[in-house]
Chains A and B, each alone.
Chain A
Amino acid sequence: NAGVTQTPKFQVLKTGQSMTLQCAQDMNHNSMYWYRQDPGMGLRLIYYSASEGTTDKGEVPNGYNVSRLNKREFSLRLESAAPSQTSVYFCASSAQGVREETQYFGPGTRLLVL
């Protein structure tokens, strides 16, 4: 069991470039999440997918889009990267997205936008 995997590990973009961050989980979880983490701040939710076929905005969705490709995979797309999107991005999953449940996190993608 690899758990939650993310690619790439690191990425440098120029302002205006686009890219897609990939996330996959092999735990048969229904719910998946994308967070960003900035220095001195906690994790902020960008988008989540409660189940295959659904996606919803989180706290900071502007500038991002997501796709729940299938039950395993949940991708995050930056259409036109901005320096303010420099951050560490974490993908997470949970079994049902219910109250008494923890999340499992991937190792993160470190993104620098110049």
Chain B
Amino acid sequence: GESVGLHLPTLSVQEGDNSIINCAYSNSASDYFIWYKQESGKGPQFIIDIRSNMDKRQGQRVTVLLNKTVKHLSLQIAATQPGDSAVYFCAENIDASGGSYIPTFGRGTSLIVHP
């Protein structure tokens, strides 16, 4: 789960290990989810997405799992590399006014990869 206060949840792993980053969402009506990666000093960048009619989606070295029953997402990174060190956010696109959708972001998890 997420911690309170100013400090992000942090996951420290060794290079080559697999990493699992978790995210809980609140809106049971949400049906589209995105993982973003934010490197230090940069804006967030899209990694992978998943629709609610799926429970798993794979990309290159990344897999997203969706458990709608408990409203939980996870991002798995295989063979983690130092370049994967970043803050990872999950986001859900929610209804806004006028038929548009806006993303709501979680607080993020800091991934630190040790060589």
Contacts and interface: CB of A to CB of B under 8 A. Distances in A.
A50 B108 CA distance: 25
Interface residues of A, number: 31
Nearest to B95: A99
A97 interface: yes
A4 B45 CA distance: 12
Interface residues of B, number: 30
Contact of B101 (A41, A92, A99, A104): A99
Contacts, number: 73
B42 A101 contact: no
Contacts of A33: 102
B51 A54 contact: no
Contact of A42 (B32, B89, B97, B102): B89
Given A40-B107, A54-B98, A56-B98, A106 B89 contact: no
Interface of B: 5-8, 31-32, 34, 41-46, 49, 51, 89, 93, 96-108
